[in-house]
Structure 1
Protein backbone atom coordinates (compact mmCIF):
# COMPACT_ATOMS: atom_id res chain seq x y z
CA UNK A 1 0.00 0.00 0.00
CA UNK A 2 2.89 2.38 0.74
CA UNK A 3 4.21 1.70 -2.73
CA UNK A 4 1.01 2.98 -4.35
CA UNK A 5 1.21 6.19 -2.35
CA UNK A 6 4.74 6.70 -3.59
CA UNK A 7 3.54 6.36 -7.20
CA UNK A 8 0.96 9.12 -6.72
CA UNK A 9 3.54 11.75 -5.76
CA UNK A 10 4.71 12.63 -9.31
CA UNK A 11 1.13 13.35 -10.34
CA UNK A 12 0.77 16.06 -7.72
CA UNK A 13 3.31 18.40 -9.26
CA UNK A 14 1.71 18.88 -12.69
CA UNK A 15 -1.59 19.62 -10.95
CA UNK A 16 0.07 22.34 -8.90
CA UNK A 17 1.64 23.88 -12.00
CA UNK A 18 -1.72 23.81 -13.76
CA UNK A 19 -3.34 25.57 -10.81
CA UNK A 20 -0.79 28.39 -11.05
CA UNK A 21 -1.41 28.72 -14.79
CA UNK A 22 -5.15 28.79 -14.22
CA UNK A 23 -4.82 31.45 -11.50
CA UNK A 24 -2.54 33.56 -13.70
CA UNK A 25 -4.90 33.30 -16.67
CA UNK A 26 -7.85 34.22 -14.44
CA UNK A 27 -5.97 37.26 -13.22
CA UNK A 28 -5.03 38.20 -16.79
CA UNK A 29 -8.66 38.03 -17.88
CA UNK A 30 -9.34 41.02 -15.61
CA UNK A 31 -6.53 43.14 -17.07
CA UNK A 32 -6.98 46.12 -19.34
CA UNK A 33 -5.91 46.09 -22.98
CA UNK A 34 -2.34 47.29 -22.43
CA UNK A 35 -1.71 45.06 -19.42
CA UNK A 36 -3.16 42.04 -21.22
CA UNK A 37 -0.84 42.64 -24.18
CA UNK A 38 2.17 42.84 -21.85
CA UNK A 39 1.02 39.70 -20.03
CA UNK A 40 0.64 37.71 -23.26
CA UNK A 41 3.99 38.77 -24.69
CA UNK A 42 5.84 38.26 -21.40
CA UNK A 43 4.26 34.87 -20.66
CA UNK A 44 5.47 33.64 -24.04
CA UNK A 45 9.05 34.62 -23.15
CA UNK A 46 9.12 33.29 -19.58
CA UNK A 47 11.21 30.22 -18.99
CA UNK A 48 12.34 28.49 -15.80
CA UNK A 49 14.94 30.62 -14.09
CA UNK A 50 14.11 33.76 -16.07
CA UNK A 51 13.93 37.03 -14.16
CA UNK A 52 10.29 38.12 -14.31
CA UNK A 53 11.05 41.80 -13.89
CA UNK A 54 13.63 41.78 -16.70
CA UNK A 55 11.22 40.03 -19.08
CA UNK A 56 8.33 42.42 -18.33
CA UNK A 57 10.63 45.45 -18.59
CA UNK A 58 12.00 44.31 -21.94
CA UNK A 59 8.55 43.60 -23.37
CA UNK A 60 7.12 46.89 -22.10
CA UNK A 61 10.07 48.91 -23.37
CA UNK A 62 9.70 47.32 -26.79
CA UNK A 63 6.00 48.15 -26.89
CA UNK A 64 6.69 51.79 -25.95
CA UNK A 65 9.46 52.12 -28.55
CA UNK A 66 7.25 50.66 -31.27
CA UNK A 67 4.41 53.04 -30.38
CA UNK A 68 2.03 50.30 -29.27
CA UNK A 69 1.98 51.65 -25.72
CA UNK A 70 2.21 55.19 -24.38
CA UNK A 71 4.90 56.11 -21.87
CA UNK A 72 2.33 57.32 -19.34
CA UNK A 73 0.46 54.02 -19.27
CA UNK A 74 3.51 51.75 -19.51
CA UNK A 75 4.44 51.50 -15.84
CA UNK A 76 0.94 50.87 -14.41
CA UNK A 77 0.20 48.37 -17.18
CA UNK A 78 3.49 46.54 -16.60
CA UNK A 79 2.90 46.41 -12.84
CA UNK A 80 -0.57 44.92 -13.33
CA UNK A 81 0.72 42.37 -15.83
CA UNK A 82 3.62 41.53 -13.52
CA UNK A 83 1.25 40.83 -10.65
CA UNK A 84 -0.54 38.22 -12.75
CA UNK A 85 2.69 36.80 -14.12
CA UNK A 86 4.05 36.38 -10.60
CA UNK A 87 1.35 33.74 -10.07
CA UNK A 88 3.13 31.61 -12.68
CA UNK A 89 6.37 31.88 -10.75
CA UNK A 90 5.04 30.41 -7.49
Structure 2
Protein backbone atom coordinates (compact mmCIF):
# COMPACT_ATOMS: atom_id res chain seq x y z
CA UNK A 1 0.00 0.00 0.00
CA UNK A 2 1.20 3.52 -0.75
CA UNK A 3 2.58 5.78 1.95
CA UNK A 4 1.45 9.40 2.21
CA UNK A 5 3.24 12.11 4.16
CA UNK A 6 1.09 14.32 6.36
CA UNK A 7 1.87 17.38 8.48
CA UNK A 8 -0.03 17.48 11.74
CA UNK A 9 -2.10 20.59 12.42
CA UNK A 10 -2.95 19.57 16.00
CA UNK A 11 -1.28 17.29 18.55
CA UNK A 12 -2.36 13.64 18.15
CA UNK A 13 -1.09 10.40 19.73
CA UNK A 14 2.45 11.56 20.43
CA UNK A 15 2.74 13.69 17.31
CA UNK A 16 3.08 17.45 17.81
CA UNK A 17 1.54 20.15 15.63
CA UNK A 18 3.76 20.88 12.60
CA UNK A 19 5.40 17.42 12.80
CA UNK A 20 5.49 15.29 9.64
CA UNK A 21 4.89 11.53 9.45
CA UNK A 22 4.14 8.86 6.85
CA UNK A 23 1.01 6.68 6.95
CA UNK A 24 -0.82 4.29 4.67
CA UNK A 25 -3.06 6.16 2.23
CA UNK A 26 -6.34 5.30 3.96
CA UNK A 27 -5.03 6.34 7.39
CA UNK A 28 -3.65 9.60 6.02
CA UNK A 29 -7.02 10.33 4.40
CA UNK A 30 -8.82 9.87 7.73
CA UNK A 31 -6.37 12.15 9.54
CA UNK A 32 -6.83 14.84 6.88
CA UNK A 33 -10.62 14.47 6.85
CA UNK A 34 -10.74 14.82 10.65
CA UNK A 35 -8.75 18.07 10.44
CA UNK A 36 -5.83 16.64 12.38
CA UNK A 37 -3.36 16.84 9.49
CA UNK A 38 -2.82 18.01 5.94
CA UNK A 39 -1.00 16.33 3.08
CA UNK A 40 2.63 17.35 2.75
CA UNK A 41 5.18 17.09 -0.04
CA UNK A 42 4.49 15.21 -3.27
CA UNK A 43 1.29 13.62 -1.96
CA UNK A 44 -0.24 17.07 -1.27
CA UNK A 45 -0.78 18.00 -4.92
CA UNK A 46 -2.14 14.66 -6.07
CA UNK A 47 -4.48 14.28 -3.07
CA UNK A 48 -6.07 17.71 -3.57
CA UNK A 49 -7.09 16.62 -7.06
CA UNK A 50 -8.84 13.43 -5.92
CA UNK A 51 -10.75 13.42 -2.64
CA UNK A 52 -12.82 10.26 -2.76
CA UNK A 53 -13.68 8.28 0.38
CA UNK A 54 -16.07 5.55 1.24
CA UNK A 55 -18.25 5.58 4.32
CA UNK A 56 -16.71 2.27 5.42
CA UNK A 57 -13.39 3.82 6.46
CA UNK A 58 -12.84 3.77 10.24
CA UNK A 59 -12.25 6.96 12.16
CA UNK A 60 -8.71 8.16 12.95
CA UNK A 61 -8.74 7.09 16.59
CA UNK A 62 -8.93 3.40 15.71
CA UNK A 63 -6.92 3.39 12.48
CA UNK A 64 -3.38 4.34 13.40
CA UNK A 65 -1.10 2.30 15.62
CA UNK A 66 0.43 4.18 18.55
CA UNK A 67 3.72 5.89 17.76
CA UNK A 68 5.48 4.49 20.83
CA UNK A 69 6.19 0.79 21.26
CA UNK A 70 3.84 -1.13 23.50
CA UNK A 71 4.90 -1.66 27.08
CA UNK A 72 2.88 -4.85 27.34
CA UNK A 73 5.07 -7.94 27.26
CA UNK A 74 3.90 -10.72 24.95
CA UNK A 75 2.27 -13.71 26.56
CA UNK A 76 4.74 -16.49 27.18
CA UNK A 77 3.17 -19.87 28.04
CA UNK A 78 6.49 -21.06 29.55
CA UNK A 79 6.50 -18.20 32.05
CA UNK A 80 3.84 -18.98 34.67
CA UNK A 81 5.36 -16.82 37.43
CA UNK A 82 3.11 -14.09 38.77
CA UNK A 83 4.35 -10.62 38.01
CA UNK A 84 4.01 -7.64 40.38
TM class by smaller structure: under 0.3
Scaled by the length of structure 2, what TM-score is found?
0.26
**TM-score of the superposed pair, with normalisation by structure 1:** 0.25
Which structure's residues are more often helix, by fraction?
1
